[in-house]
Structure 1
Amino acid sequence: MFDNLSDKLDKAFHILKGHGKITEVNVADTLKEVRRALLDADVNFKIAKDFTSRVKDKAIGQDVLTTLQPGQLMVKLVKDELTELMGGDVAGVNLSGNPSVILMSGLQGSGKTTFSGKLANFLKTKKGKKPLLVACDIYRPAAINQLHVVGDQIGVEVYSEPENKNAVSIAENAIKHAKANGYNVVIVDTAGRLAVDEEMMTEIANVHKAIQPQETLFVVDSMTGQDAVNTAKAFNDRLNFDGVVLTKLDGDTRGGAAISIKSVVDKPIKFIGTGEKMEAIDVFYPARMAERILGMGDVVSLVERAQEQYDEEEARKLQKKIAKNEFGFDDFLTQIQQVKKMGNMKDLVGMIPGAGKALKDVEIEDDAFKHIEAIIHSMTPAERTKPALLDAKRKTRIAKGSGTDIQQVNQLLKQFDQMSKMMKMMQGAGGKNLMRMMGGMKGMRP
């Protein structure tokens, strides 16, 4: 996420760090490189120029030239300014209606239908809501089918009228259905449209007027860069939407849309999509994103994700097993599954301060644990419970069954033994926290 921008900003700050004496000239050189990095990330020229001007004014005003750590202070000023540029405070979604109606808008291919499902899943699992998805794409039958597939996947009902070619009446009927059946959130997925398509723009404006949604979200593919910002402005002129959703932020995006869009349309980014899974949705925190862009990590989000997967009862059972030296491979497999639920591995590593930079050239795949899982699944129940049973003959069988080699099996056993000992030592310090367990998993990829 924003790897190129992060690298270029890091190089810009090295201009200050590399000088024994700090002058207005090398401060200006640093900010010139910052501006260039923003432009390379597809940020609008005027926004980038104004950004660096504000940072320079604050830098001179705070005596950056005479401070003992000018490089660090400059990073802080850039972080604060980036936070403001992306919206400052976190913006929540308005769920005040009964039911609350959320209208999704955006270009074709921006990821509206998938994100509608992610949002429904988010509101259901994390907010305790009972959402209803509504298929209002009357032009593409595949879109209706896609939404039904998504709904089945997350256990949310989808309202559709395949024979009805009037998006307004479908949306109105869906809200009546929601009221009659106890749904408290209605998410209306509309057809993708071009801002220059007057007929399509009029249609979504009519839907908006008819259902009076509490929340209108504009979904934009972050990989389209500055074009996304320009499109957002055209949509906002017609719909006056309430917030922006950035999808595909896990891709090789330059980041221009995330940084520029708030200043252009004066509407907050509310959510981001960070992967293909239904759980890959995050509330957008400008300060946390600024820290990640500057390579500071995002420990708060990492801890929050860990806490979501933390089960106190399971942790208590696990603690007893560790105390009795009964921690086995089945328990280890459960911990791996919990870590995987937290998100894709590259995203998680990016949340650890300094780790993203240290591992920037290392490919971290989503299936990073696949060899470990294959080895464990090739063990018998008895072997998983009592690893001491694994002699040379059994190891050879497990290696063949898992498609690995004997060295990989031995490496896993050695690391598992080390981890078990470490967890035993942590018992006295109350080491039942998932985050501590993650520390023991570091590097466990045969």
Structure 2
Amino acid sequence: MDFTFGPEVDAFRAEARQWLAANAPANAPANAPANSPVATDMRAAPDRRAWERTLGAAGWIGLGWSGTYGGNRRATLAQQVAWGEEYARAGAPVRTGHIGEKLLAPTLEAHGTPEQCERFLPPIARGEELWCQGYSEPGAGSDLAGVRTAAVRDPADGSYRVSGQKIWTSLARDADWCFLLARTEPGSRRHHGLSFLLLPMDQPGIDVRPIRQMSGAADFNEVFFDGARAVGAVGAEGGGWQVAMALLGHERGVSTLVQQIGFGRELAEVTEAARRTGADTDPMIRQRLIRLWAELRTMRWNALRTLGTADLAAPSAAKLLWSAWHQRLGELAMTVRGPSAATGPRDWTPAAPYELDAAQHLFLFSRADTIYGGSDEVQRTIIAERALGLPREPKG
């Protein structure tokens, strides 16, 4: 199988590299680890909003869209990979608009009305409106069908009043809008009676509370809704499960290949740390480094092999591979550092808490890799049922 890109993609890559070299902010603040779905903390949010508008003005948002409602720089799937890889190599700021661009936009193009597309897609393409995703709840994380947040439709204007709680909501403090899954049919169970709603975040009845992680950052939030107004539903009322599942299909693919650029950078840093500390003289350490390098190359080839395919189990297999790989990298980063990995800077005082260094942040953040985005248990169930044809797990 040929894993190379052709001259058209190479030319597109060169254009992207040149533009990023001329426009990407130097030393972008608070860059997230390679696997982070959001920016580490949101202290640089105003700068990142300006950066989203810069990307939009240059036509770098919406590369995979149809072009009808924005995303005027059309790009093939391979060109989208090239852009993402060059973006990661340039060390450009972590994106805050990716939830709207990569998840909501293709979902609206497939399931939304022309009026919804006309209203929401152009501001996303211009980098002007940010979105967050309201799926997980305290009792419905990996088992999304357990959603309890409820919404009541107002027949006068078609809007909904939403009450309930979402958790692990990325970017909720800075998002302008939220798409969420809510139960619109009282007494319904599991995936029945759910609707996919669009809700403005700047209104009464919404309380956003940051969740402080053990890494010190607050990437995620709890969001409480108390009669907040959603402007309407995407797809039919009660048909939200199908829309939500279609959206989840956009979560992986190109992003997996882009993610691996950051993984490679982290692996290089761990390898260099092993040289500095002398840990690379240990044959067991060398073996672990070589295995991580080989596995990363294999993950890239597998991602290229399955890019654009209709294999429903491929994203789950990829998630299982990279989440465990990244955790092992974080563990090795601590090992090669030795005892100093558990300490902070010498000038630390209780009055001035220290920031974690890159290796410490990698180790702590990667503990969540096998949970968020669908736990390992869920991914194995998907593979068993959809790829291997094993009996479906009983639903209570």
**What TM-score comes out, normalization by structure 1 length?**
0.23
**What TM-score comes out, normalization by structure 2 length?**
0.25
Could you say which structure has the higher helix fraction? Answer: 1
